[in-house]
Amino acid sequence: MNEYFSYLSQNLQQVLFLTQAHFLVVLIAVTIGSAISIVLGMIVSSGEPDPPRYSFDWFAVGIREGSLLITAAALTVPSLALFVLILPLTGFGLTTTVIVLTVYSLYTVLRNTVAGLTSVDRAVLESARGLGYSRMRRLLTIQLPLAWPIILNGIRVTTLITIAITTVAALVQGPGLGTLVLSGLSRIGSANSFPQVITGTVFCLLVAAAFEIFFAIVQRLTIPRGIRV
């Protein structure tokens, strides 16, 4: 333990810099991926009574299922393999990292968006249509607020997954705490190798804790008590 605390005190500035970089790259990737998934989910989740009655509804269902299938397939690709596949197109560094992390963030948010929007009681939507609400107005004022707790939970889960995957980005010179983990593992048995691995792991947990606090605050501010999940 003395060796670990000695290493941490001597390298605290670098560790904090890498922690900040890890937090920011996860935030950027999850924000982009969530925006894409929520918009796509809103487009393909018509919210009309089942079965779909219009040609657009049938088309939307096909696009929805295809999108879920493609993003689920992307999620099953090993992260190292996807980094290697993207690398020749975008090179080492931040761009490759953000693209890969964004790809991994799509499925969970999209699935939860679709699940949330399509789970809204059809009787409520029919009542709103009877009152003259347009499709878009029903989506924005009824479906989206009711689905938001499920969507937010999807964003939270994908954030935790992305924090872990970001450590692999060190292999393509991406930012974050993976630099410490990779350096320590490559030098295992030498001086400070174990403290590097432990430090990278512990501070990844701190990043996850920071995001958990953030989502708890967002949940309390944006979700009425009666529909919190």
Integer Cα distance of 159 and 220 in angstroms: 18
Find all residues with CB under 8 Å of 74, minimum gap 6, and list them.
Answer: 82, 103, 104, 106, 107
Q: Is residue 64 a contact partner of residue 45, using CB atoms and an 8 Å limit? A: yes
- Give the Cα separation of 35 and 138 in Å (integer): 20
Angle between helix axes 144-166 and 12-44 (nearest 10 degrees) is: 140
DSSP structure string for 145-162: HHHHHHHHHHHHHHHHHH
Q: What proportion of the chain, given as a percentage, has pLDDT over 70?
A: 89
How would residue 49 be classed by pLDDT, with cut points 50, 70 and 90? very low
Of the ranges 28-32, 190-194, 220-224, which one carries the lowest mean pLDDT score? 190-194
- Distance between CA atoms of 139 and 60, rounded to whole angstroms? 14
Domains present along the chain, CATH in parentheses:
2-227 (1.10.3720.10)
109 neighbors 37 (Cβ within 8 angstroms): yes
pLDDT grade, residue 228 (50/70/90)? low
C-alpha closest to that of 61 among 77, 74, 79, 43: 43
Reported as half-sphere exposure (CB side, CA atoms, 13 A), residue 104 has a value of 29
By the 10 Å C-beta count (0-12 exposed, 13-18 middle, 19+ buried), 208 is classed as: middle
User: From CA 19, how far away is CA 178, in angstroms rounded?
Assistant: 10
Whether residue 177 contacts residue 205, with contact meaning beta carbons closer than 8 Å, is answered with no
The residue with greater pLDDT, 193 or 85, is 85
| Whether 116 contacts 153, CB under 8 Å | no
Model confidence at 124: pLDDT above 80: no
Q: Is the pLDDT of residue 50 over 50?
A: no
The pLDDT tens digits for 166-207 are 999 888 888 888 888 888 887 776 777 788 888 889 999 999
Percent of the chain as helix, strand, coil, to the nearest 5: 85, 0, 15
Of 42 and 126, the one with more pLDDT: 42
